[in-house]
Amino acid sequence: MLRSADCGSLRDENAGDQVTLAGWVGRRRDHGGIIFLDLRDRSGAVQVVFNPETDADATRVAEEVRGEWVVQIKGTVNRRPEGSENPAMATGDVEVMVTEITVLNRSLTPPFYIEEDAEADESLRLRYRYLDLRRPPMLRNLTLRHHVVKYIRDFLSDRDFLEIETPILIKSTPEGARDFLVPSRMQPGNFYALPQSPQQMKQLLMVSGIERYFQIARCFRDEDLRADRQLEFTQLDLEMSFVEEDDILDLTEELYIGMIESVTPDKRLRKPFPRITHAEALERYASDKPDIRFGLEMTDVSELASETEFRVFLSTVEGGGQIKGFVVPGQAGFVTGQMKDLDDTAKASGAGGLAHIRYRGTNPVDRLSEDEILQSAGLRMPAEWHRRLADKMGAGPGDMILLMAGRQPRLNVWLSAMRNHVSELLGLPDPDELAFAFVTKFPLFDWNEDARRWDSSHHPFTSPEDGQEGELDGENLGNIKSKAYDLVCNGSELASGSIRIHNRQLQEKIFAILGHSKEEVESRFGPILEAFEYGAPPHGGIAPGIDRLVAILCGSPSIRDVIAFPKTQSGTDLLFEAPTPVHPKQLEELSLRITEKPD
């Protein structure tokens, strides 16, 4: 038996026990011949002591031992001497007096310290990921991820869902991002694709009569990476038959509340989750994934702004744009450097600039004097205009108003970036609070100006709002709402879902609007369209991302910290040095040839 107890399990009540432990050597301290080691395994660490007066042989071995060696020790659990307890360790009231040590494996000197806060570049940590994962924060992240997935499986199993695996090698279909293609050796010139999501397959499971399906699904998208996006990611895939939108949102809310209260009880959770329409989210927060932990809500002041002689405002309104902004309470005292920081942030987001008005003093707004209005350049309007502006926006003495001008949707992008920047600057978001919200009634279509065509706002299998099907033959396709919904939390999108189309004629009409020819539709979507003619039930689902959820629960800014072996932002696996060229023989077997990429 290599061990009789876990290192992190020993407590005061174990005093006197004879134990065998095995693990990695952490900190090492030599105090005048008496050697102290922190021995660590997955459960935690415990101090072990070597005394040459009681066991000289074991101490001689311990003198050679270094960090990250794997050892087995045998000894007696003792209470630490009074005053030497370590409250920072769960095992800090005890130590193990060693009588025997066996070196199971030696270690080279690690390229960084295996400790709570390793001061190492992320690229170095990813290159030696197997060492990085020994650090307590990374172990905690992966442990939390395990508990999240286990809770999901138990929750859905208890509610009569079936976990069903779907294929990884499928047919390439347009779903918004580039597919990863896999060449077929047995059918030269033909390719499989890795699934961006199991969209068609879960719908086919509903046609199959499964009724309640879920899967912890691996998904693949060949797209540019960022902190919350990887080439391969994990999502909870969930689909239900004979349901309406509220059924899915209610189930999702119940799942998330139960999960978070179970696995992260220290988090403050706002409940119930508010349900905000897409139009309302853009109007109030300038974002379809708003952080609702703080205010800073938007107001459209285009009508008032058009009364000024400020040319930027006038030309924007005349050109069909808007003047929108928000109040920053109590911050009229921003100094020149702070105002420059705000202006630089506006320009970095793509805006031309930022207008600001600061109300000085403590008088009620209706008695503000000209001297109490600090105006930005170009907005030198009478006090009465400022009183009307303050009244419309809910500003008062000591407050600052920030305004931006532009056409949608770019204006909302700028405002959202400014709102988030100001909130961070003022420390408004509570890092221990989770504020979820459902965003509903997305547009069915988005106009793609570059390609001069309509694209699906969600995906082409999303159903239009009841009663708007007839508008698919009209001119105002941008006004049609969908039965699509997102789950957002603290400014991040965590899940997307919709009620699906289950009628062949309606699905074919959507494909035609999106510009797919009949031949292309039949080639790419023939099986699901045919299935719809065999009694497809009404159905819908949602697909929450596991990586983003766990990152938020861990308080991590990057999903790379909650994935065992992630890629870098350039898509490189530093541990396995992938991607790499392959042997010409392999290309020959696949009937492939590498050609020069044109400039």
Gap between the Cα atoms of 85 and 588, Å rounded: 66
Q: Which two tokens stand for residue 572?
A: 């490189």
User: What residues have CB less than 8 Å from 467, skipping those under 6 apart?
Assistant: none
Query: What is the H or E stretch that residue 279 is in?
Result: helix 278-285
The pLDDT score that the predictor gives to residue 33 is: 86
The pLDDT score that the predictor gives to residue 596 is: 84
CA torsion angle for 524, 530, 536, 540 (degrees, to 10)?
A: 0
User: What residues have CB less than 8 Å from 186, skipping those under 6 apart?
Assistant: none
From residue 2, give the alpha-carbon distance in Å to each of 5, 47, 69.
9, 18, 15
φ, ψ for residue 323 (rounded to 5)?
A: -115, 115
Gap between the Cα atoms of 208 and 433, Å rounded: 41
> DSSP characters for 280-306?
HHHHHHSSSS--TTS---EEE-HHHHT
Residue 226, CB half-sphere, CA atoms under 13 Å: how many? Answer: 2
Gap between the Cα atoms of 416 and 298, Å rounded: 9
φ, ψ for residue 136 (rounded to 5)?
A: -55, -40
**Is the bond into 579 cis (omega within 30 degrees of 0)?**
yes
Query: Going residue by residue through the chain (599 aa), what tens digit of pLDDT does each one get?
Result: 899 999 999 999 999 999 999 999 999 999 888 999 999 999 999 999 999 999 999 999 999 999 999 999 999 999 999 999 999 999 999 999 999 999 999 999 999 999 888 889 999 999 999 999 999 999 999 999 999 999 999 999 999 999 999 999 999 876 567 899 999 999 999 999 999 999 999 999 999 999 999 999 999 999 887 777 899 999 999 999 999 999 999 999 999 999 999 999 999 999 999 999 999 999 999 999 999 999 999 999 999 998 888 889 999 999 999 999 999 999 988 888 999 999 999 999 999 889 998 887 666 665 666 666 666 656 777 878 888 899 999 998 889 999 999 999 999 999 999 999 999 999 999 999 999 999 999 999 999 888 889 999 999 999 999 999 999 998 889 999 999 999 999 999 999 999 999 999 999 999 999 999 999 999 889 999 999 999 999 999 999 999 999 999 999 989 999 999 999 989 999 999 999 999 999 999 999 999 988 77
Gap between the Cα atoms of 301 and 283, Å rounded: 12
CA nearest to 54, candidates 96, 4, 12, 92: 96
CB 456, CB 494: distance < 8 Å = no
Q: For CA atoms 500, 505, 506, 512, give the dihedral sign.
A: positive
The pLDDT score that the predictor gives to residue 442 is: 97
The residue with tokens 């072990």 is 48
* 0.85 surpassed by pTM: yes
Query: What is the H or E stretch that residue 251 is in?
Result: helix 245-263
> DSSP characters for 458-482?
S-TTBPBPTT-GGGGGSS-GGG-BB
Q: Please tell me whether residue 204 adopts helix, strand or coil conformation.
A: helix
Q: For CA atoms 62, 67, 70, 76, give the dihedral sign.
A: positive
Q: Which two tokens stand for residue 67?
A: 């960090």
Pairing mode of beta strands 492-499, 445-448: unpaired
**Is the bond into 174 cis (omega within 30 degrees of 0)?**
no
- Look up residue 472 and give its amino acid: L
394: left (phi over 0), alpha (psi -120 to 50) or beta: left
- Look up residue 139 and give its amino acid: L
